[in-house]
Amino acid sequence: MAAPYKPLLDLDTAVAPPRWALLERHLLQTQAQACRDFFAKYFDPRSGHLLCVPRWGGDDGPDDAAENQLNWTMLHALGGPADILDMFRVGFEGHIDQYTKARTIDVPMARDGMYYKEFPVSLDWFHHGEGLSSYLLYGLSDPYDANYERRFRRWASMYDGTDPFAPNYDRKHRIIRSMFNGSRGPLMRKATGLDWAGDPIEIEGRFGPGHGERTFGEMLAHFEQYTDIVGDCPLNLEATHLGLVAYMITGEQQYRNWVIEYVDAWMQRTDDNGGIIPSNIGLDGTIGGAADGNWWGGCYGWGFTVTVPQTGEKANRPACYSRAHYGFGHGLLLTGDTSYVDTWRGVLDKVNENAREEGGRTVYPYMHGADGWYDFRPQPFSPGAHDVWYWSQRDSDRQRLTGDKWVQFLEGDNPLYPEAELDRSLAQVRDRMSRMAADDTAPDTRLSDDMNSINPAVTESLVRLMLGGIPVGRSAHTLHCRLRYFDPETRRAGLPPDVATLVDAMSDDEVRVQLVNLDPVRERHIVIQGGAYGEHRMGSVAVEDGVKVDVPGDGSAFTVRLAPGAGSRLTISQKRFSRQPTFTFPWDR
């Protein structure tokens, strides 16, 4: 983008400050201060270590420790103060150091460190993804960090078959060989409760584990049935985010090629399984090959129903389909090929075809086992339905989202939504800070996940309203949004000071956004980019006063000058998913 300071548009119409704009800026500032207080209480500022008892496992392991800074990178990328990113760096570097030094005694895989090569030694991607969620988005704010490139080159090589010392990937069969995988490679045996739960630990009178366990025996029992991990599973699609980030940093094709290769393999398996994604792939590449031929088998599979040790009740935990669709979103982002969306839409439709009538109403299945479909519910099967609509922008996909308040707002039916959402987010911050003030635990009585629920970075409403995007949270997917912003004067990501934005309408080929400069004295310049990674090509920009101009160059970004106290609404045409995604800032492209 040439001359980032030269505005394409000069907006000088004065507007009264809208309440949503004041709330938006207040929420950015309030969260920032709350994060400072949170960091001061729960982190060692010298080492960056989390002040807790570091443990291995699926209950309170390294991923939960990293989640205590969930959304911090997103907060900065939206326009939060620079010190938010500084604190995140200290915390994440400290996290890697703390969990590299932390060692298990009884759990074999982590006896030489829970992290190796700065990455978890071997666990499932439900947990890997949660721990990496904020760092995967760090490139939105600082893609030029040499550590960032170095790490993602290394981590991607652990999964694309090029690191012989981490043989997670079988290129011949296009599979990740186990649900347990990481920097020390795949675990090629049945998992034990100990592998999942970590070393024995004192509980009663000291800790309060998140799943309600009263003894270490109950922690082991929680994972007693989590044994069948050999073979590939849909959760492993989250690993493609490593290759995607490496590609968006470097532009090197081998990373892109692997992501497409692996996602395409899952598309083929879904098609071969009658349109429903299977939850286990054998080491020979066959559907159900490591689960006695059952497509629904395996840990976290379609038929994964376990016993809760505290109550003896049955619980369904089919994580196989809760996040797999994000992998298909990676394929869409890299290719613009809507068949990836079609595949997941097809999964939803195929499952719902098995609905039945009960007591005069239609119910829909969510599980499948040896006796067929079960866990019937009144609501249609819909994991990923919101993403399918967002990616396609089809009215038929929107019909799955009846009652969604954000969608109603975008269609003009819920005008009070922005203020209500921002008020709700501010209330969340207040509640979390109140709970933090009441927390009188000592570091040696804290587990790594104890503070997750009071982390004050709550960016969900801001992502929807400011960017027209889908909040990421702990799900480890890429940021899908229609617009993103940069400050050309400070050369950083995020809104300039005093500027507020509101995406209030979108369709397949247009997005509409309100811009406001709340400063009555100083003008502001803002760079507007098409998509989180420049993936949406912008054609024309129409101002509500009738002015219409074409976006020059590659159509990835343009600059607007906002006079003091000025504001306006822009309607921007877009050809979505038509450019290769990149972390590179607009003025460096």
Q: What is the pLDDT of residue 1?
A: 41
Q: What is the pLDDT of residue 2?
A: 43
Look at the domain 18-466 and name its fold.
Glycosyltransferase (1.50.10)
Mean pLDDT of the chain: 96
**Percentage of the chain surpassing pLDDT 70?**
99
User: What average pLDDT does the segment 477-502 reach?
Assistant: 97
Are 203 and 450 a contacting pair, CB within 8 Å? no
Look at the domain 482-588 and name its fold.
Immunoglobulin-like (2.60.40)
User: What average pLDDT does the segment 1-26 reach?
Assistant: 87
User: Shortest CA distance to 136 belongs to which of 66, 234, 206?
Assistant: 66
The pTM score is 0.97
428-455 pLDDT tens trace: 999 999 999 999 999 999 999 999 999 9
172-208 pLDDT tens trace: 999 999 999 999 999 999 999 999 999 999 988 888 7
- Burial degree of 8 (CB within 10 A; 0-12, 13-18, 19+): middle
User: What average pLDDT does the segment 155-171 reach?
Assistant: 98
| Banded pLDDT at 3 (limits 50, 70, 90) | very low
Q: What is the pLDDT of residue 309?
A: 85
- Name the phi and psi angles at 522, rounded to 5: -110, 140
293-317 pLDDT tens trace: 999 999 999 999 999 888 889 999 9
Q: What is the dihedral of CA 221, 222, 225, 227, to 10 degrees?
A: -100
Pairing of strands 314-316, 356-358: unpaired
254-288 pLDDT tens trace: 999 999 999 999 999 999 999 999 999 999 999 99
The answer on pLDDT for 534 being more than 80 is: yes
360-396 pLDDT tens trace: 999 999 999 999 999 999 999 999 999 999 999 999 9
Domain boundary assignment for the chain: 18-466, 482-588
| Banded pLDDT at 5 (limits 50, 70, 90) | low
